[in-house]
């Protein structure tokens, strides 16, 4: 049995995409996942499974979530090591940056060409650095004024979901310590 961390995309946004933490846990457990936990109401889930294929795990969770909610819930799954790597990359990529730091987690591994395109899309005040299936967004003080957002990342790299660095570091501490 292995432990994984899932990140649900686009839930609890408006009245029609509600997915409370207890419902997330129930849907995951109903699909056969064990020792399911959530952290804050932004769609972070930790679980154990005997499955080893990330694609199969994501497909099983997405099917369970869609059946429960009646809408698609794209889900990005990382191993504990992948989450540790994302958290560790933060310091290296930040390199003295003192603004906001967000991380867009990617469904698929980007190609070298895609990485070059997304990193070139930045500016002096907004920088993207890619490490594995994570894009570190180093932004100014106001995320809502940024041009380099998760939506921009998805245009270049496909399905992604975004968390602030504080959440990533806390999840790595809670669920991927090792």
Q: Which pLDDT does position 122 carry in this prediction?
A: 87
Using pLDDT thresholds of 50, 70 and 90, give the confidence band for residue 160: very high
Decide if pLDDT at 42 tops 90. no
Percent over 90 (pLDDT), the chain: 80
Q: Distance between CA 85 and CA 107 in Å, rounded?
A: 16
The domains located in the chain, with CATH, are: 2-79 (3.30.70.1280), 81-175 (no CATH)
Decide if pLDDT at 178 tops 80. no
Decide if pLDDT at 32 tops 80. yes
- Helix (H) or strand (E) run with residue 101 in it: strand 100-106
Kindly report, residue by residue over 60-119, the tens digit of the pLDDT. 999 999 999 999 999 999 999 999 999 999 989 987 788 899 999 999 999 999 999 999
Decide if pLDDT at 59 tops 80. yes
Q: Distance between CA 21 and CA 43 in Å, rounded?
A: 8
Angle between helical axes of 21-30 and 54-69 (0-180°, round to 10): 120
Q: Distance between CA 57 and CA 60 in Å, rounded?
A: 5
Using pLDDT thresholds of 50, 70 and 90, give the confidence band for residue 145: confident
């Amino acid at each position: 049995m292995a432990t994984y961390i899932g990140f649900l995309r686009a839930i609890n946004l408006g009245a029609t995409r509600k997915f409370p933490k207890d419902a997330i846990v129930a849907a995951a457990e109903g699909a056969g996942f064990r020792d399911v936990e959530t952290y804050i109401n932004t769609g972070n889930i930790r679980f154990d499974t005997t499955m080893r294929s990330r694609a199969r795990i994501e497909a099983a969770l997405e099917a369970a979530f869609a059946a429960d909610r009646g809408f698609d819930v794209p889900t990005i799954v990382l191993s504990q090591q992948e989450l540790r790597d994302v958290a560790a990359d933060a310091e290296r990529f930040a390199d003295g940056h003192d603004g906001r730091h967000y991380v867009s987690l990617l469904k698929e591994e980007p190609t070298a060409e895609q990485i070059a395109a997304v990193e070139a899309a930045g500016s002096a005040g907004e920088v993207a650095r890619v490490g594995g299936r994570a894009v570190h967004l180093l932004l100014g003080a106001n995320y809502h004024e940024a041009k380099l957002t998760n939506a921009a990342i998805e245009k270049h790299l496909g399905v992604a979901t975004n968390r602030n660095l504080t959440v990533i570091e806390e999840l790595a501490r809670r669920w991927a310590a090792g």
